[in-house]
Structure 1
Amino acid sequence: MSTAVAEEAVPPATGESHPNQFALLRQRRFAPFFWTQFAGAANDNLFKFAFTVLVTYQLQVAWMQPAVAGLVIGALFILPFLLFSATSGQLADKYPKDLVIRLVKWLEIAIMLLAAYGFFGSNVPVLLACVFLMGLHSTLFGPVKYAYLPQHLNERELTGGNGMVEMGTFVAILLGDVAGGLIVAVPHVGAHWVGFCCIALALLGRLAAQWVPPSPATDPGLKINWNPVSETWRNLKLAHGNVVVFRSLLGISWMWFFGSVFLTQFPAFAKEVLHGDEHVASLLLVVFSVGIGVGSLLCEILSRRHVEIGLVPLGAIGMTVFAVDLYFASRGLPPQSADMGVAVFISTGAHWRVMADLALLSLFAGLYSVPMYALIQLRAEPSHRARIIAANNILNALFMIVSALLAGALLAGGATIPQVFLYTGIANAIVAGYIFLLVPEYLLRFFAWVLSHLVYRFRVRGDEQIPSQGPAVLVCNHVSFVDAVLLMAASPRPIYFVMDHRIFQVPVLGWVFKLAKAIPIAPQKEDPAVYDAAFERSAQVLRDGDILLIFPEGGLTRDGQLQPFKGGVMKVLERARADGLEPPVVPMALTNLWGSFFSRIEAKGAMAKPFRRGAFNRVGLNVGAPVPANQAQPELLQQRVGALLAQG
């Protein structure tokens, strides 16, 4: 274990440390940080939107036409992410994160004081400078924001914590935009009030930051490289060192590409396609933000409080389905007069389909993004986690820029806004499919999630006994052909299975187990080469610090009873000791699977009678306390698994 990992003050995974993700708002390790980032996001958007409205409707600026004001402000805000993300990632790794957060909040106060001066004097150059500086503020805060969570939340809390942060961010964006538009519209004094409000929000954020608990530096000896180009390249190489993490970064950046297409087109979509006024455009933003928030919060419920990347393909499917349906919903709208208000808009039934599509595609975007963020936080090396988040911010900015350019090119080429949505939905299916084929773990976890939620009602007890770090050996009874898939769904970490070589010949399941890199084993007398190779690969899994699972019965039960355990587990442990390892052995028992479609209860064998016992049948997994490697004997392990089976 690295020193950085050892120093991280992550609470133990107690399993029931709090009833749900909202309870984190009552805990100091999360609440001050949450309200700090909430105030910052709200301030960003209140300031930007009020400034956009000011130069679009109230000020006459000859050198910046209203039509391009939003693009200029957006570009200035994104520019610091490209220039300074690499540096900000280094700072977040080198210094305590609570110190960095408080310094960033002091910077925000200074920027908002300057912005208030700009609003009081209607000084557009000063306000444009403040847009750039607020982009710098967000650039500095971004790596801290996501690197802070895994230092204070355990694995079972990480998905819920990320869901709360994503929900809070989009609610803050929504409130900031609404408040900025309303306040700046107040005759004569609106701009002054915006200045005061920005200062007040910055002060509130700094006050909340005062209570952020100590968050030690993860790499205090890091030497800062101030060259953004070389450091950006170094950060991308760091991220690329872990294939799953790097491709997850690309997946998140694609989500920002996807979301930017919709967010940037809402005003024009509301005016040109829906024939609504500016309030209808705001309504679309509200619907989109609520969808993201709900999807983010649902992640903890649907993932059983684990980092469940099986939700990512589900999110990608929903994003494509409802983006494509939004195209068809937009084509079938009845003719309307221009500048339709919100009341008239929502009174038309066809518009409800449009709003439902927007709400659902954003909900699925929340399901897509939150597990990816949590996976990056969990799998990235703690010593350079913030720099990997910084690399993600750079990629996000690049993808958003490309999104704007491609959407603009499509529109300039004669495409309609609904057609742009359609092309984006189709592209999402292609890109997501490509990512999932590159990283089969997403598809495997999705398959496991579907089986454990939609085919069976799967209840897991004691999963906190599975070690969150380091090598371990799991032993479990073997009841059905889908045992391994259910065990995938139960474990927060990837599992390498040692399985009878004949199971790889089963249609579909054999393909799944090959994707999962399961280790085939055959009796020594039948195929000595496969037998020896299985134990060598098993030893390598433990040397790599991963989890190995063995079915010690040697095959599927034919009568539903626990069969005698064979000695393979002892051979694995002997090889581990030769490598200087003492992996704990965790006993597990699958319950109520005997008699299911995938078990061998039928005389003809498994999978002979379709829909046997019906869908949504309750099955379970009981996980026992780990047994030290030096005490693990087949008889003792069989006794432990038998006792877990008796619990039902």
Structure 2
Amino acid sequence: MFRIAGVVNYLLVIFLNAFTDLGHKIIVQNTVFKVYDGSTQIVLTAIVNSLMLLPFILMFSPAGFLADKFPKNLIMKYASISAVFITLLITYSYYQGWFLAAFALTFLLALQSAIYGPAKYGYIKELVGLKFISAGNGAVQAITTSAILIGIIFYTALFEGMIGDVAYTKEEILKVIAPLGWLLVLGSVIEWYLASKLPNKMAEKSLRAFRFKRYIFGAYLKKNIMMIKRKKEIFDNIIALGLFWSISQVILAIFGEYAKSALGITNALVVQGIMSLAVFGIVFGSILAANFSKYYINTGLSALSAVGVTIVVLSIPFTTSVIFLAIEFMLFGLFSGLLMVPLNAKIQYLSPNVHLGTILAGNNFIQTIFMFIFLIITTLFAYFGANAKILFYIMAIVGLFLSVMLFRRYFVMLFWVVFELMLKSRHSYKYVGLENIPKDKGVLLLGNHVSWVDWFIVQLPIERRINYMIDKDIYNWNYFNAIFKKADLIPLSSKASKNSFFEASNRLKNGKIIAIFPEGEISRNSDVSKFYRGYEFIERDGADIVPFYIDGVFGSIFSRHKGKTKKSFFKKREITVHFGKPISDEIKADELRNKIIKLKGYK
């Protein structure tokens, strides 16, 4: 992916955009932290976050329109120019000690980000294509969170170094730290220069004209909301991300007061440092999500990670150790990265290019509505004297709801993720010839049978679910039968196979992938056993036969043939699956067996 022209430049732009936006927010938040206590601190922190969110609500329709109408690289270029002027105003406010003006300019900086956002994220799909869409989202998430981490540490360290333990008013604090404003300006100038070098990747654009009257009276809002609801999976993922970001915003808004009142921490650098450790986790989680989405967008990760987020949020109010809090925030970040990357990638993947900007703006809009409402609730709770622990418990309940929602949507994918996590701890997998599996027609997969986990090994790199043919006696096992039905397995009996072959034929006609192990059982030695002719009775009707050979499983704990070679427990077993070219014509069992054996030497 990094060999694609413009990728490195784009990621640098992403970094600087997040680094600069966060810098001003951190300065304002640290000023609030130093001057105010208790409920006032929570309320003002929530207001700062609200000012960062409100533009994403107001600019939903215009931002989406611009991202669909004009090249996204140009939008990033001109938005970054506006950031230069805004940061100059912010710097001037610092020098004058105008706290309210600096506070208000948070809104203007966020307004620029709201216009920037849909173009910035829509550019991923245009720049790297569908092949690298998960890797692209993983890289963007990792770079963004790295910028957040570095920004938090950088600006907080400089802030603390300039202020120290001296008691200042909020106006005096701004005058003391005023030189930091020039760093914001410098970041914006470099961002503008790099954004001006990005290539234009727009393939198609919207021909619509923007009508201000329709925007003011909500006609665009209604139409755009209907657009993002057309595909239920897109809308569900947007809601899920909205719930997740709401939890995150509330945690960030209340943790400072919790640390101060419950743990006695008064150093802003320590508080920001603990929270910033979540960013380390997000970077690692984003990289893991991209790795687990090597072959397709692995949405099961999101369902699993929602549970992790919930457990961490619930555990924070029971923790009094700074070290354990740091670990919890790192885990929160890890699960966050694993949750966000697949959901964002899926939204982009399912969105038509001509409406991509509008859908991504809608994504920002709904997420922001959620966060805004949750911050209002946080402010009200704080105003009426509720302590931070109660809000942590409420966020854990929201996390539980999010977990149930993603479980229902991605239950099957979650099942595969759990197996993948378990087996990848012992195995490494390599797949040769995946391009030989047609993506838009029925496929009959035929190959050797060497272990109890062959079904998983073959399925792992293929997003379409494989319908395996399985022995009827195994299919009817107690407790497992319901799972086998859910997995769309086809029971096969040597005494009554006609109906099974008829069912397989129908599924092939409907574009499904059917898999059979013609040996009929797991090999008892390292040779490929005799193939049975059963598959010949399946009517293929244009579907292709794709042969495969599984190599490297012999001798594992999952195979019957243990062999003589013992592997170190700490060394992963390397497993390779070779997929041969499609076979369209009739092929007999012996000939097929020979073709599959020859695949072992296929390079």
If the TM-score is normalised by the length of the shorter chain, which range does it land in?
0.7 to 0.9
Deviations 1:108-132 (A, max 9, x none): 2233344344444445565455322
- Write the distance in 1 (CA, Å) between the matches of 2:156 and 2:523: 69
Listed as ranges, the gaps of 5+ residues in structure 2 are 164-172, 563-567
Q: Using the TM superposition, name which of 31-40 and 281-290 deviates more.
A: 281-290
1:270 — aligned with what?
259
2:58 — aligned with what?
83
Amino acid at match of 2:236: R
Is 1:473 aligned to residue 443 of structure 2? Answer: yes
| Closer/same/farther in 2, CA of residues 638 and 386 from structure 1, 3 Å limit | farther
Deviations 1:382-433 (A, max 9, x none): 3333333222212211222233344456666776434533443354234313
Within 5 A, what are the aligned runs for 1:44-443? 44-53=21-30, 68-123=43-98, 126-153=101-128, 157-181=132-156, 185=162, 189-190=175-176, 192-222=178-208, 224=210, 227=214, 229-277=218-266, 278-302=268-292, 307-330=297-320, 350-408=321-379, 416-443=387-414
Is 1:553 aligned to residue 505 of structure 2? Answer: no
Q: Residue 193 of structure 1: CA displacement?
A: 2.2
**Aligned residues of 1:284 and 1:355 also touching (Cα < 8 A):** yes
Of 441, 445, 449 in structure 1, the residue corresponding to residue 420 of structure 2 is: 449
Of 451, 454, 462 in structure 2, the residue corresponding to residue 483 of structure 1 is: 454
Amino acid at match of 1:526: A
Amino acid at match of 1:401: F
Deviations 1:33-80 (A, max 9, x none): 111111111111112233445577689xxxxx8764433332122111
Amino acid at match of 1:564: F
Amino acid at match of 1:550: A
Q: Residue 533 of structure 1: CA displacement?
A: 4.3
**Aligned residues of 1:477 and 1:562 also touching (Cα < 8 A):** no
Amino acid at match of 1:316: A
Q: Residue 203 of structure 1: CA displacement?
A: 0.9
| Closer/same/farther in 2, CA of residues 433 and 225 from structure 1, 3 Å limit | farther
- Write the distance in 1 (CA, Å) between the matches of 2:67 and 2:77: 12
- Write the distance in 2 (CA, Å) between the matches of 1:58 and 1:319: 32
Amino acid at match of 2:507: R
1:591 — aligned with what?
551
Q: Using structure 2 for the length normalisation, give the TM-score.
A: 0.81
Within 5 A, what are the aligned runs for 1:512-551? 512-516=483-487, 518=488, 520=490, 526=496, 531-541=501-511, 548-551=513-516
| Closer/same/farther in 2, CA of residues 312 and 57 from structure 1, 3 Å limit | closer
SS at match of 1:623: strand
- Write the distance in 1 (CA, Å) between the matches of 2:91 and 2:234: 41
- Write the distance in 2 (CA, Å) between the matches of 1:29 and 1:390: 23
Q: Using structure 1 for the length normalisation, give the TM-score.
A: 0.76
- Write the distance in 2 (CA, Å) between the matches of 1:410 and 1:593: 58
- Write the distance in 2 (CA, Å) between the matches of 1:381 and 1:122: 48
**Aligned residues of 1:46 and 1:198 also touching (Cα < 8 A):** yes
**Aligned residues of 2:74 and 2:196 also touching (Cα < 8 A):** no
SS at match of 1:538: helix
Q: Residue 483 of structure 1: CA displacement?
A: 3.0
**Aligned residues of 1:157 and 1:306 also touching (Cα < 8 A):** no
Deviations 1:270-299 (A, max 9, x none): 101111112321222222222222322333
Amino acid at match of 1:425: A
2:465 — aligned with what?
495
Total equivalences in the alignment: 575
Of 515, 525, 531 in structure 2, the residue corresponding to residue 564 of structure 1 is: 531
- Write the distance in 2 (CA, Å) between the matches of 1:98 and 1:637: 52
- Write the distance in 1 (CA, Å) between the matches of 2:307 and 2:80: 39
Of 411, 418, 429 in structure 2, the residue corresponding to residue 459 of structure 1 is: 429
**Aligned residues of 1:478 and 1:555 also touching (Cα < 8 A):** no
SS at match of 1:42: helix
SS at match of 1:620: strand
- Write the distance in 1 (CA, Å) between the matches of 2:494 and 2:354: 44
1:12 — aligned with what?
none
**Aligned residues of 2:228 and 2:234 also touching (Cα < 8 A):** yes
Amino acid at match of 2:257: A
- Write the distance in 2 (CA, Å) between the matches of 1:315 and 1:268: 27
**Aligned residues of 2:289 and 2:342 also touching (Cα < 8 A):** yes
- Write the distance in 2 (CA, Å) between the matches of 1:495 and 1:631: 24
- Write the distance in 1 (CA, Å) between the matches of 2:570 and 2:287: 27
Q: Residue 531 of structure 1: CA displacement?
A: 4.4
- Write the distance in 2 (CA, Å) between the matches of 1:203 and 1:393: 25
CA RMSD, aligned part only?
Answer: 3.9
**Aligned residues of 1:497 and 1:550 also touching (Cα < 8 A):** yes
SS at match of 1:490: coil
Q: Residue 189 of structure 1: CA displacement?
A: 5.0
**Aligned residues of 1:478 and 1:556 also touching (Cα < 8 A):** no
| Closer/same/farther in 2, CA of residues 531 and 282 from structure 1, 3 Å limit | same
| Closer/same/farther in 2, CA of residues 468 and 161 from structure 1, 3 Å limit | farther
Amino acid at match of 1:41: A
Amino acid at match of 2:255: F
Listed as ranges, the gaps of 5+ residues in structure 1 are 1-16, 18-23, 60-64, 331-349, 543-547, 577-583, 603-612
